[in-house]
Amino acid sequence: MNEYYLTLILRSDLKEEDRKKILEGVTKKFGSLEKEDLWGSRDLAYPVKKQTKGWYAHFEFSLNPQDVSSLDKTLKLDEDIIRYLLIRK
């Protein structure tokens, strides 16, 4: 199991329940969640996908290396995720 950092930026106009569904769907893919920081809504430095604000969340987790590509694909396909950064610790 390797340790990873994941920072997500979601669309800020999402309803609370939709945001929770997205975050729960992402965290189900984690092997073991070590830390979760929900930063909330913040201004973006420049418009991304026609959005000027984003809702930030940061996770630290462990995951098998062969499962990372599945997580990455899930993050790419979700239209409500504006940007994400997934790095190995």
Tens of pLDDT, residues 14-73: 999 999 999 999 999 898 999 999 999 999 999 999 999 999 999 999 999 999 999 999
Total residues found in the chain within this entry: 89
User: pTM for this structure?
Assistant: 0.90
Q: What angle do CA 17, 76, 23 make, to 5 degrees?
A: 25
Q: What angle do CA 35, 69, 88 make, to 5 degrees?
A: 45
- CATH for 27: 3.30.70.60
> Which residues span the domain enclosing 12?
2-88
Contact residues for 60 (Cβ-Cβ < 8 A; gap 6+): 3, 4, 5, 6, 33, 34, 35, 36, 89
Cα-based distances in Å from 76 to 20, 34, 79, 83:
18, 23, 8, 9
The domain tally of the chain equals 1
pLDDT of 39: 95
